[in-house]
């Protein structure tokens, strides 16, 4: 098993790299259940023991496939996280495929529900889809203006008044070990901290080689309060892995000329010091003590092998010194 680090104030030890199972829900491309099981076996064989999923991924499809793939392994040998905040209702319209990033997903419609009863139902539904009687880490999914726009204040109040209470009760009952929030913006995490006793936050794309907006005192505050950060989106939607090409994606949209130019400069520094950009992207977050684990979601064998090399690659301090100069411009 790969190196582990303790999650906040809990007794959970997370592997340095976690696997994000969004691809099991057909993110961007359709796969088979056989492919998802084979991919998980390869990920298991390289020592990863932390797996994350959400009802949103494929409208429940990813949870069902992850549960099936993990079923043959001892439940005490891995850490499992999923999310609350969306309830799935059967889609009765025949032949309807909702336009989103999950082709041929399960036939369910998503409804936001951060209330006490909504979180409790979401937890129970996820346990059934995953085939487990407990969740190690339960995350409140996608609160914030990034997702809810001008409805954020309303949804945030519901989440803090009701949803958090439900999550805290599940933790007190031992059905959940750790609770937190998973989203794409750190401002809402700062907003939630004074009202809650969360163990961790899963933050996507905000402390990377390309984007360090979360390094504004927020990460230091998390370290001070022993709130662990699980970092997702280390490639910023792909551009740090694909390189500074026209058509590359950054933050879920085509990258601007400014972003492409910045990635070009990062790649030049990598070439100068003979550092693999993928390795640099994977290792960068661990430079802050608040980061406990980095989520990766590669499923193809060559991508998995590239990521594994990136975890253990030796990167000289001179490289990081020059990167720091770039990222603070």
- pLDDT (tens place) for every residue of the chain, 329 residues total: 789 999 999 999 999 999 999 999 999 899 999 999 999 999 999 899 999 999 999 999 999 999 999 999 999 999 999 999 999 999 987 766 666 889 999 999 999 999 999 999 999 999 999 999 999 999 999 999 989 999 999 999 999 999 999 999 999 999 999 999 999 999 999 999 998 999 999 999 999 999 999 999 999 999 999 999 999 999 998 999 999 988 898 988 899 999 999 999 999 999 999 999 999 999 999 999 999 999 998 777 677 777 878 888 999 999 999 999 886 55
Active-site position among 50, 57, 114, 250:
57
* Residue 218, helix vs strand vs coil: helix
Round to whole Å and give the CA distance between 307 and 208. 15
Q: Angle 295-62-306 (CA atoms, 0-180°, nearest 5)?
A: 35
The answer to whether residue 187 is catalytic is no
Active-site position among 83, 114, 136, 251:
83
Round to whole Å and give the CA distance between 198 and 209. 27
Contact 304, 42 (CB under 8 A): yes
Its pTM stands at 0.95
The answer to whether residue 165 is catalytic is no
The answer to whether residue 83 is catalytic is yes
Active-site position among 16, 50, 52, 114:
52
Count helices and strands in the chain by DSSP H and E runs: 13, 14
Chain mean position to CA 67 = 18
């Amino acid at each position: 098993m790969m190196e582990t680090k303790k999650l906040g104030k809990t007794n959970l030890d997370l592997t340095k790299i976690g696997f994000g199972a969004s691809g099991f829900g057909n993110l961007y491309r359709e796969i088979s259940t056989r492919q998802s099981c084979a991919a998980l076996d390869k990920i298991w064989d390289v020592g990863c023991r932390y797996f994350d999923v959400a009802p949103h991924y494929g409208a429940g499809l990813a949870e069902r496939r992850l549960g099936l793939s993990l079923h043959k392994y001892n439940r005490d040998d891995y850490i499992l996280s999923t999310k609350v905040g969306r309830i799935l209702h059967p889609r009765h319209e025949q032949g309807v495929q909702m336009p989103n990033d999950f082709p041929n997903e399960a036939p369910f419609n998503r409804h936001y529900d951060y209330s006490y009863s909504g979180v409790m139902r979401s937890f129970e539904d996820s346990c059934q889809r995953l085939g487990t009687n407990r969740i190690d880490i339960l995350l409140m999914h996608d609160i914030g203006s990034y997702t809810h726009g001008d409805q954020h204040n309303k949804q945030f109040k519901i989440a803090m008044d009701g949803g958090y209470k439900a999550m805290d009760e599940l933790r007190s009952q031992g059905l959940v070990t750790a609770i937190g929030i998973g989203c794409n913006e750190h401002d809402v995490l700062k907003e939630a901290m004074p009202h809650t006793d969360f163990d961790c936050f899963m933050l996507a794309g905000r402390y990377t080689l390309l984007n360090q907006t979360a390094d504004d005192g927020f990460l230091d505050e998390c370290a001070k309060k022993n709130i662990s950060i699980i970092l997702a989106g280390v490639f910023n939607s792909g551009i740090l892995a694909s390189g500074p090409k026209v058509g590359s994606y950054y933050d879920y949209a085509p990258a601007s000329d400014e972003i492409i130019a910045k990635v070009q400069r990062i790649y030049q520094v990598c070439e100068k010091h003979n550092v693999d950009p993928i390795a640099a992207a994977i290792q960068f977050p661990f430079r802050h003590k608040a980061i406990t684990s980095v989520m990766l979601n590669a499923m193809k064998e060559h991508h998995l092998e590239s990521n594994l090399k990136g975890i253990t690659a030796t990167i000289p301090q001179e490289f990081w010194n020059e990167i720091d100069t770039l990222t603070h411009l």
